[in-house]
Chains A and B, each alone.
Chain A
């Protein structure tokens, strides 16, 4: 065999082998980066879970904020006799206190700001409005909330709607108390001193099974073991008696009861 031919072939083979090794090394380094395949898709899919968790946070924060609003309203109800806070369920349709949205936003804002600091989401404050649908509170965002994708490659905007289900119905338990309170007022109707009369009804346990009570300055305040506090007082210059029920940390409801032939309360 011709030696020159073999030399030439061996040289070619060497070149090819070197070429393949170079290609192999280059490709291998790129193949290692294949493990990053799907990262962007993963971030896009995972943002759905970010949204779910954020909505849950909003819902829980809304429950807490609404509870705080109710406590604050009950405080207002105690200090301002003209205030009948939150809901007049005794009327139809249910009337929502017009300042509820403002109060609610004031109470939920800190939670939004706190979340924004931790998560780096763009969360506007004073962003929620409240409505009633059936027995539910419907809390909806006005401006969108912007969430960045992991890796900062893109962002998602959401405008959440939170439903606090059967929230209006939570006041249903007070209907029972309202009826009992009305009975007290009926029993004491025409009495010379309706407050003392009411107090005695409260005291003898005929109306509220178990309670403690305080009477101060023309107001009867009963505290049941539930614990539910009951304020009852006569609205000045009217025939109306106002009865307010509120728990210590949850909800407050206000009823306005009119006596047919009211007696003058003692002062």
Chain B
């Protein structure tokens, strides 16, 4: 005679509960991992886009600082043309949102300001902003050599949005 003992229903419930909880915890951590990686990747991509654009802008200014001299309209046009052409050259695709998103305010005294938003793709989601300050020496003869000269300051508030 065999004494078959029926399974304890409490144990079964506990086992299934534990399995369900373990599954929930595993799913949670997988989600967490994927979410974390995506956010990191997105952040890194955004920074890469920012650095890429800063390099592009800086090289253009270093090669020809005179693009930042003139009226607001002239500077806006210069920047728009230059950024567009250089972006196409390096990426093979047109940039989105230029030149409409470049707004400059050029002042004779005090720092001039140029604000621009650069969208590298239509569905650009990651936006990072940074300040690129450009200082240009003013050309004139100095008699008082000990006094600092006013230099032209252009603060460029750049917002780069990339995938």
Chain B residues whose CB sits within 8 angstroms of the CB of A61 once the complex forms: 137
Q: Does A20 contact B (CB under 8 A)?
A: yes
Q: Are B59 and A52 in contact (CB under 8 A)?
A: yes
Chain A residues whose CB sits within 8 angstroms of the CB of B142 once the complex forms: 68, 107, 110
- Using a Cβ–Cβ cut-off of 8 Å, how many residues does chain B contribute to the interface with A? 52
Q: Does A216 contact B (CB under 8 A)?
A: no
- The A contact surface, by secondary structure, is helix
Select from chain B the residue with minimum beta-carbon distance to A34. B39
Q: Does B93 contact A (CB under 8 A)?
A: no
Stretch at the interface among B16-24, B77-85, B96-104, B116-124: B16-24
Chain B residues whose CB sits within 8 angstroms of the CB of A110 once the complex forms: 142, 145-149
Q: Are A35 and B43 in contact (CB under 8 A)?
A: yes
Select from chain B the residue with minimum beta-carbon distance to A112. B148
Q: Does B107 contact A (CB under 8 A)?
A: no
Q: Are B153 and A118 in contact (CB under 8 A)?
A: yes
Q: Does A96 contact B (CB under 8 A)?
A: no
Q: Are A64 and B24 in contact (CB under 8 A)?
A: no
Q: Does A89 contact B (CB under 8 A)?
A: no
Partner of B135, one of A4, A53, A67, A113: A53
Q: Are A49 and B135 in contact (CB under 8 A)?
A: no
Chain B residues whose CB sits within 8 angstroms of the CB of A41 once the complex forms: 47
Partner of B43, one of A4, A34, A119, A249: A34
A9 → B minimal CB distance (Å): 4
Chain B residues whose CB sits within 8 angstroms of the CB of A8 once the complex forms: 10, 13-14
Q: Does A78 contact B (CB under 8 A)?
A: no
CA of A42 to CA of B54, assembled, Å = 10
Contact code string A22-57 (vs B, CB < 8 Å = 1, else 0): 011001000100111111011001100100110111
Q: Does B71 contact A (CB under 8 A)?
A: no
A87 → B minimal CB distance (Å): 20
Partner of B145, one of A1, A49, A71, A106: A106
Chain A residues whose CB sits within 8 angstroms of the CB of B51 once the complex forms: 42, 45-46
Contact code string A90-125 (vs B, CB < 8 Å = 1, else 0): 000000000000000011011101110111000000
Q: Are A60 and B136 in contact (CB under 8 A)?
A: yes
Q: Does A76 contact B (CB under 8 A)?
A: no
CA of A239 to CA of B49, assembled, Å = 70
- Using a Cβ–Cβ cut-off of 8 Å, how many residues does chain A contribute to the interface with B? 50
Partner of A52, one of B8, B35, B58, B139: B58
B156 → A minimal CB distance (Å): 11
Q: Scan residues 1-29 of chain A and give those whose CB is less than 8 A from a CB of chain B.
A: 1-2, 4-6, 8-9, 12-13, 16-17, 20, 23-24, 27
Q: If the complex has contacts A31-B35, A110-B148, are A57 and B136 also in contact, measured as CB distance less than 8 A?
A: yes
Q: Does B40 contact A (CB under 8 A)?
A: yes
Q: Does B55 contact A (CB under 8 A)?
A: yes
Chain A residues whose CB sits within 8 angstroms of the CB of B145 once the complex forms: 106-107, 109-110
Select from chain B the residue with minimum beta-carbon distance to A42. B47
B101 → A minimal CB distance (Å): 21
B127 → A minimal CB distance (Å): 10
Q: If the complex has contacts A2-B10, A110-B148, are A13 and B20 also in contact, measured as CB distance less than 8 A?
A: yes
Chain A residues whose CB sits within 8 angstroms of the CB of B20 once the complex forms: 13
Q: Are A5 and B14 in contact (CB under 8 A)?
A: yes
Chain A residues whose CB sits within 8 angstroms of the CB of B11 once the complex forms: 5
CA of A259 to CA of B44, assembled, Å = 74
Select from chain B the residue with minimum beta-carbon distance to A19. B25
8 residue pairs, one from A and one from B, having the closest CB atoms:
A5-B10, A9-B17, A49-B58, A38-B47, A114-B148, A61-B137, A5-B13, A34-B39
Name 17 A/B residue pairs within 8 A (Cβ), A-sorted.
A5-B9, A12-B14, A17-B24, A20-B28, A35-B39, A37-B44, A38-B43, A42-B50, A42-B51, A67-B141, A107-B142, A109-B145, A111-B137, A114-B148, A115-B135, A118-B135, A118-B151
Other than the given A35-B39, A60-B65, A110-B145, 12 more pairs (CB < 8 A) read A1-B13, A5-B12, A8-B14, A34-B36, A37-B40, A42-B50, A49-B54, A49-B132, A111-B149, A114-B150, A118-B153, A119-B133
